[in-house]
A and B are shown apart, each in its own frame.
Chain A
Amino acid sequence: MFRRFAAALFPLLLATTVLAQQSIQIKGSDTLVNVAQAWAAAYSGMRGGLSIAVNGGGSGNGIAAMLDGNVDIANASRAMRQGELELARQRGLHPLRHVAGYDAVAVYLHPDNPNRRLTMDQLREIYIRDGGLRRWSQFGDPVPGCPSDEVVVVSRQNNSGTYAYFRGEVLGRGKYRQGALEMHGSRNVVDLVSKTPCAIGYSGLAYANDQVRMACIAAPGEVCVTPDIASASTGGYPLSRPLLMYTNGEPRGEIKAYIDWIRGDAGQCILYEMGYAPIREVHCHDDKARPNHG
């Protein structure tokens, strides 16, 4: 519904940005869209006359729009793929990535689920097609409130950047388990897991709430790490990823100033307040409790 509304709004946005003297067009990842809109609002408020149009639509769409020359910046929650880099080379473009922050993909469990420590190998056997881990008792402890003992695998729709990232890190080139519930949006994953004792799901750290628990994930040969802002920033958590902004070539003028501002203290504090991890340690003016943002 919202998308249709957004589609109706789009020509309007286009018209207003053409009229404004200075404008920056941004499109891409839905993971980043909330924080990108907060950045745009704060920055254009600071610099009157500059309009910044931010659209979601997914990492793939943002990158495609950047390669078509329709937007100045593509937001992406995954790196550009081989095919996309190839297309850029054919068109004589030089996509350049800028790290705008970090996000941890947390593995969410129902609060009643005692199996809070998982290795990457176990995650793989849960999520991969025909994987061997199908029952919670295989982890040692049956889950109260889950009489069927079945692991209910919750995933994302197949064009989400989070889906692609989780697959790359956990499954490599393997495919997701057939029959996994593919939820539309990070929020829905967390909601479903909070109501389903048998379920396991993954979503950005920023979507955590007190109705779910985050699993402690162990990389091979390491102790397990529970995701938080610090372990996402340092990369200590195995499923932490950079949030990227792609430009065509070295940014100049307003676009360079904007990206520098995002990577500066002001931009990084906004990112931190939205529940993501800054690219370096920042001291924010108003260090209030971090809201769980959706």
Chain B
Amino acid sequence: MSDRTSPFARDTTLHGDCDRRDAAWYIDKGVEWLLFLGGISAILFIIGIFAFITHEGMGFITTRFDAGEFFTTQYWTPSDEYDPEYGILAMLAGTASVTGLAMLTAIPFSLGAAIYIGEFAGERAREALKILVELLAAIPSVVWGFIGLSVMNPLLIALFDIPVGLNIVNAGILLGLMATPIMTSIAEDALKAVPDRYREAAEAMGATRWQVIYKVVLPAARNGLLGAVLLGVGRAFGETMVVLMATGHAINIPDSPFDAVRALTATIAAELGETTAGSDHWGALFTIGILLFVITFLINLSADLIVRGIRGK
């Protein structure tokens, strides 16, 4: 930030403050402050949200909470009148397995799309594909969830002879498709950032197109691609509606990809609305919220750092 644009530091020693105080001057100052507020509002909101969920969760964390029970047991019956249990291990396993399968789906799709758009497609095909990929991102998550319930569920039952089609595979495939747009566009940016002289040098050595991509472009874009995957993980991890509708919402440590599971986000979505404010159950849900906040924050932060190349080439 230079002195000229900062609302706080003005260099009065050199120029003095001899601006005319007319309407334009006040409008200028006003706009400067408004833009400053807009600029820092994201930080204020993040701090505010974190303070809020911490405040709501604190009542539980300081009283009933037992880290051993919370993280290492799989029983979650917080509404039990006599013997409530607050274990999230099964939900951690559910979130992790669905996110993992989503990445197995999304990485080939998004990497393939990015390589084709960035390295092979002509000008017009590139523009058309980029718009279509963006369109995929515009589908509301509740619509994806609906597809999970009414299309994927019977399809999976018919294909694999399983009792219920609401499971890891169902939600994982949908989440993978949802994460594909952001991963494609970040991955394509990463490929574009590889200087053309690398490609030209490789081609001059007699490399085929695939050899150029595989041996030169992909290794050079490694950090950007890793960042794309991590952002996709963050997207899949925090998604709520699809996992609520398509996982089966069963508290269960899965031993097969066709098992119904339950995600941390879906638990909050399903239970918070009908939970008495201030109760242990309420506090436990906010504690899950804190955990989700911290994990997604770390994932997105590391993705950002990797994409910016701060960790070096």
Contact residues of A between 215 and 265, Cβ < 8 Å to B? none
Give the dominant DSSP class at B's interface.
Answer: loop
Q: Which residues of B contact A61 (CB under 8 A)?
A: 274-276
Interface check B142, CB cutoff 8 A: yes
Contact residues of A between 50 and 90, Cβ < 8 Å to B? 57-58, 60-61, 64, 81-83
A261 → B minimal CB distance (Å): 28
State the CA gap A259–B281 with chains docked (Å): 32
State the CA gap A58–B273 with chains docked (Å): 8
Q: Which residues of A contact B270 (CB under 8 A)?
A: 157, 182, 184
Residue in B82, B142, B249 whose Cβ sees the most chain A Cβ within 10 Å:
B249
State the CA gap A30–B79 with chains docked (Å): 16
Residue in A81, A82, A183, A184 whose Cβ sees the most chain B Cβ within 10 Å:
A184
Interface pair B274/A178, CB less than 8 Å apart: no
Instruction: Knowing A173-B82, A196-B164, say if A58 contacts B274 (CB, 8 Å).
Output: yes
Which interface class (under 10, 10 to 19, 20 to 34, 35 or more) fits A? 35 or more
State the CA gap A175–B80 with chains docked (Å): 8
B122 → A minimal CB distance (Å): 42
Contact residues of A between 132 and 161, Cβ < 8 Å to B? 146-148, 150, 152, 157-160
Chain A residues at the B interface, C-beta cutoff of 8 Å: 1, 3, 30, 57-58, 60-61, 64, 81-83, 146-148, 150, 152, 157-160, 163-164, 173, 175-176, 178-184, 192, 195-199
25 A-B pairs within 8 Å (CB atoms) are namely A58-B273, A60-B79, A60-B274, A64-B276, A81-B81, A147-B161, A152-B164, A157-B270, A158-B79, A159-B79, A164-B79, A175-B80, A178-B75, A181-B166, A181-B248, A181-B250, A182-B251, A183-B249, A184-B244, A184-B249, A192-B166, A195-B154, A196-B157, A196-B164, A199-B164
Give 8 new A-B contacts, CB below 8 A, not counting A58-B275, A181-B249, A192-B164. A81-B81, A148-B161, A152-B164, A159-B274, A159-B281, A178-B75, A197-B163, A199-B164
